[in-house]
Amino acid sequence: MKVFLMYPDQDFNLKQSLPPNEASLTQDLELNTIFAAMALGDEFLFEVAKQTILSSLDAPDVISYRQEILKDCLKNPTIVREIYSIPIEVSKSKRQHWIGFSLRHPGGILNRSIAMLQLFIDPLKRLRRIADEHAEKFNSEGFTRFFALIRQELSDDYFTVVENHLKQLRFRSGVLISVQLGKGNEGVNYVLRKPNRLDNHWLKRVFAKKAPVYSFTLPSSDYRGASVLGELKDRGVNLVANALAQSTDHINSFLSMLRVELAFYIGSLNLSEQLIQQGGTITIPKPVPACERRHSFTGLYDAALALTMKQKVVGNDVSADNKDVAVITGANQGGKSTFLRSIGVAQLMMQCGMFVPAELFSANLCRGLFTHFKREEDASMESGKFAEELGRMSTIVDAIRPDALVLFNESFAATNEREGSEIAWQILRALLERRIKVFFVTHLYALARRAYDKKMENAIFLRAARQQDGRRTFKLSEAEPLQTSYGVDVYNKVWETDISNGLSSGSITSEA
């Protein structure tokens, strides 16, 4: 049996390689906050969340396949959690009640397989009951096929046959084996036989003519004889033991994969419930092929910030369809970096088949997501900040390909304005020539102005708003770059502090 809840035609590989820049993505986009919210303290859920979100899909049909399954999960969270609990409980039972059997001999393999199969019966019956009672509540292709498979494979006849086999394989009346003599009177062609059916009528059994029986009794002290008989029994049950072992391994593999593939949806349910509880919204995004240029959304917010603050945060509305580059400028602490993170997180969530923290969201797929955020200087750096920035940019260039997405946050600001703007402009031009989509947050006015004056049809310019009194709205709107660093805000803040200490009052209101 196959689960097929992550892909329509293959199993999910929890051990697949993560992208080489997974550490940068995790740090810059604060993904560990997302993973932790999905896991709720469960290490397994954390690992599945990390593996899934960082392993982006680039096939719209597979993304849609997962999205439809996720919709079913959002409609039926209690049922989905009950299904997920089945492989969890089986795993716990194996750890708590498992008695080891020797796997070096067919007899040990047989006993182990019988114990495992007995352990599986009740959980499988429970899974069948869920399919019978709730299958009609699910509409996705994935769940429809899954429940149909459960009903077909785990039929009443299946359980009857399994239970009958388990009774026979305990050999309470002994083992009946046929064998032929081979060369040197060695036993060959060992075959396990069904025991003769006894007539249920007791009178017939009492008065029936007894067939001749040739038997012997083994003394209790004959350990060598017991060992030989054990070897003969092992030869007789060898084929049955292997067949039963393969059957139990198949069921165990199915339950293990069910746990892995449902874990992604359980994590999604955990995250959605926390975001909604904090007043946030979620939506199923609309992905379009990577060759197109689509980026439009309403109410997009940074899920990591909402989870950290434990309250509703400001969202943004942007229509950047047919744009290859977005240049974002504006006030310090105005929400630019937060906006950039929301773009990256939403892209990853969309491309793994999840919902997006927004009211509406549509974007083209990207063939690789890269981040180039400013880093604080620390003792681990082997060179200056600017050299470190260029080194990271070189690594990105080596790995990037057309239709990728790059997020820049205050990049190349570790040198002077003129040099940093020139380097950033050359890099930006080269990326656009290679059909690479760019979101660029910058305080380099020369860079932003140069791009704006080019009047590029494929560019959009966003600015973080700042009110006259210096307050931030954390909203971005389409606007041209301004030649200001808003240093006046810092001045007035210091001046207000001086007033509170008894100094004369004053303020600056111009944005020079």
Question: At residue 79, what is the residue type?
Answer: I
> Other C-beta atoms within 10 Å of 203: how many?
8
In angstroms, rounded to a whole number, what is the distance separating the alpha carbons of residues 70 and 281? Answer: 16
Q: Which residues contact 282 (CB under 8 A, 6 or more apart)?
A: 272, 275, 276, 355, 356, 357, 358
| Domains parsed from the chain with CATH numbers | 57-197+220-277 (no CATH), 282-481 (3.40.50.300)
The structure's pTM equals 0.83
Dihedral (Cα; 275, 278, 284, 285), 10-degree rounding:
-90
Parallel/antiparallel/unpaired status of strands 405-409 and 437-441: parallel
Q: Which residues contact 46 (CB under 8 A, 6 or more apart)?
A: 35, 36, 38, 39
Which tokens hold the place of 291?
Answer: 């060759």
The candidate with the shortest Cα–Cα distance to 261, out of 106, 145, 183, is 145
What pLDDT was estimated at residue 196? 63
In angstroms, rounded to a whole number, what is the distance separating the alpha carbons of residues 259 and 52? Answer: 14
How far from 467 is each of 337, 388, 511, CA to CA, in Å?
A: 19, 36, 11
What pLDDT was estimated at residue 511? 38
In angstroms, rounded to a whole number, what is the distance separating the alpha carbons of residues 354 and 364? Answer: 15
In angstroms, rounded to a whole number, what is the distance separating the alpha carbons of residues 329 and 30? Answer: 22
Q: 326 phi and psi, to 5 degrees?
A: -125, 120
The candidate with the shortest Cα–Cα distance to 265, out of 9, 41, 70, is 70
> Other C-beta atoms within 10 Å of 275: how many?
20
The candidate with the shortest Cα–Cα distance to 299, out of 258, 347, 257, 357, is 357
For 95, the 3-state DSSP assignment is helix
Please compute, for residue 462, the number of CA atoms within 13 A of its CA located in the half-sphere on the CB side: 24
What pLDDT was estimated at residue 509? 40
Helical packing angle, 43-54 and 223-277, nearest 10°: 70
Rounded average pLDDT per 10-residue block, the chain, 512 residues: 94 92 96 98 97 94 97 98 95 70 64 78 94 97 96 90 72 66 73 63 60 67 66 61 75 94 98 96 97 96 96 95 96 90 98 98 97 76 78 95 96 88 96 97 94 94 82 88 63 53 43 35
Q: How many helices (H) and strands (E) does the chain have?
A: 16, 12
Q: 209, 74 in Cβ contact below 8 A?
A: no
What pLDDT was estimated at residue 263? 98
């919210």: which residue's tokens?
37
In angstroms, rounded to a whole number, what is the distance separating the alpha carbons of residues 107 and 113? Answer: 10
